[in-house]
Structure 1
Amino acid sequence: MKALVLGATGATGKDLTKLLLEDQDFSEVHLFVRNNIKSETKKCKIHVVDFDQPKNWQHLVTGDVAFSCMGTTLKDAGSKEAQRKVDYDYQLNFAEAAKNNGVEDFILVSVYGADSGSKLFYNRIKGELEDAVKKLNFEKTTYFQPGILERKNSERSVEVLSIKALNFVNKLGLFKSQKPLPTSVLAKAMVNAAKIKSKGFSEIKLSAIFNFAEKIK
């Protein structure tokens, strides 16, 4: 399979790219990035693009499966407008290119609670993206809706504290369905989703992602 990855430099994207490059079921892995990154294998094809100029790169989005795991925070983006570009515009442009170029399988990392009608800005734009991608009618579409992600060496203090708090209450037997999800487990679930031969729409939430990651060894 030829895999396409948007968001390869993020925590989930890095874990996903590593798994795809190690997996013999994937013959090529194409990464769409803003800044050039190093690759030690010919299997990995890097496309440095300007995400604000989709017409210049959308013709490159050709393959068997497209993974979209790009994302940012309001703090890092600097404004709601800038965050919307990353969490909605860029990903929808990628999805539209994939659909127009005949990609049949689209896998999106969203968030638990995504809802286009939400009063929470982040949940709302994630819900709007889900709605827009679903309307593209890929042959196969999979949404992953994790809660708190456990990133390696995270510098996000609120996230780190939240993970510690959840891990503590999980040990007490509380909120087990919402335990922190390591990005490596999410990446494995995404790879598994690409290997499942099916059609239609699937939505995988919270703790179910752990089970999904173990479906294919």
Structure 2
Amino acid sequence: MGMRAAIVVGATGLTGTSLVAQLCENDEYISVTVIARQKPAFEHAKLEVKIRNFDTLEENDIEFAHELYCCLGTTIKKAGSREVFEKVDFEYPLAIASLAKKRGIPHMLVITAMGANANSLFYYNRVKGKLEHALKELGLQRLSIIRPSLLIGARKDFRFGEKVGQKVLKFAKPLLVGPLKRSRAIEASQVAKAMIVIALYSKEQPVTIYPSQKLVSLDFPKLKDEQASRDNYFNWEKNKLPNTIDEDSKVNRDVIINRDKFKVTESVVDKEVNFKRRDEK
């Protein structure tokens, strides 16, 4: 059992929901804290939920943890305006990262987007790129940037654009080879697993970017079987002692059982010892 603690923000989304469940089931973690605006449906003995308003989040709301996982994100349609969208996808993650730095949290893992670029022609990608740049400038001890392609999974809210995109990429998958392979859709549960693998097993570097095609291949290391196989344990014919001993392996019984050699010649008992009754003086 490990002794790690994790904080997750954005725990009620597609990837965040899977991430929290996987963290709670991982033996390396004894504590998982979710900071959210609403209580997640998932419950676990390791899980602590803090209901907070991200607009008024303070340093005391974030305790020390080994990893801060940030899965915050929305869409312009759901946000209702670009202003609200930037607040959720840029301002909140940056503010939380700043508080985490003050708390001494050594590693932040944040989900952005495959095409994140501050100079992108697409507004969504520009915001994600701006967030990446700001986080790098913040000077965190360790920053892992997660850039998934289109996420696949069962969302609570229906997103027409994503549903269409998933179907298109599903049929186009055989054609997405070489450089286009990075555009393949990816399961949100795999992204969540990849984040944990990165936290536990990746090489520590100040800033690392993980593209979608890399996330697909990340998995927990296989445990080496250092024990003997079941056949070796229960193969009685192989492990029983032989009925006969070859001449080279024989031991001279006279050497071992030489009674004369090891005969006791002196007594260690004092013959002069007399025992008296208690009523005798």
TM-score higher than 0.5: yes
Q: How far apart in 2 are the matches of 1:198 and 1:151?
A: 30
SS state of the match for residue 112, structure 1? coil
TM-score by length of 1: 0.92
Aligned to 1:193: 198
TM-score by length of 2: 0.72
SS state of the match for residue 29, structure 2? coil
Q: How far apart in 2 are the matches of 1:116 and 1:40?
A: 38
Q: Could you say which structure has the larger radius of gyration? A: 2
Task: Tell me the CA shift for residue 155 of structure 1.
Answer: 1.7
Aligned residue-pair number: 214
Give the gaps of 5 or more residues in structure 1: none
Aligned to 1:100: 102
Task: Tell me the CA shift for residue 22 of structure 1.
Answer: 0.2
Aligned to 2:90: 88
Which stretch shows the higher mean deviation, 43-52 or 136-145? 136-145
Q: How far apart in 1 are the matches of 2:52 and 2:43?
A: 20
Q: CA offsets, 1:58-92, max 9 Å, x none? A: 32322110000110000000000000010011111
**Pairing 1:101-180 to 2, within 5 Å after superposition:** 101-153=103-155, 155-172=158-175, 174=177, 175-180=180-185
Q: How far apart in 2 are the matches of 1:149 and 1:39?
A: 21
Preserved contact between residue 7 and residue 33 of structure 2 (Cα < 8 Å): yes
Bigger strand share: 1
Aligned to 2:241: none
Q: CA offsets, 1:28-55, max 9 Å, x none? A: 0000100233553331010100111123
| Amino-acid identity (%) | 30
Task: Tell me the CA shift for residue 8 of structure 1.
Answer: 0.2
Q: How far apart in 2 are the matches of 1:45 and 1:156?
A: 30
Which stretch shows the higher mean deviation, 32-41 or 192-201? 32-41
Structure scoring higher RCO (CA < 8 A, sep ≥ 6) equals 1
Q: How far apart in 2 are the matches of 1:47 and 1:120?
A: 34
**Pairing 1:36-115 to 2, within 5 Å after superposition:** 36-38=39-41, 40-55=43-58, 58-61=59-62, 62-115=64-117
Aligned to 2:211: 205
Give the gaps of 5 or more residues in structure 2: 223-281
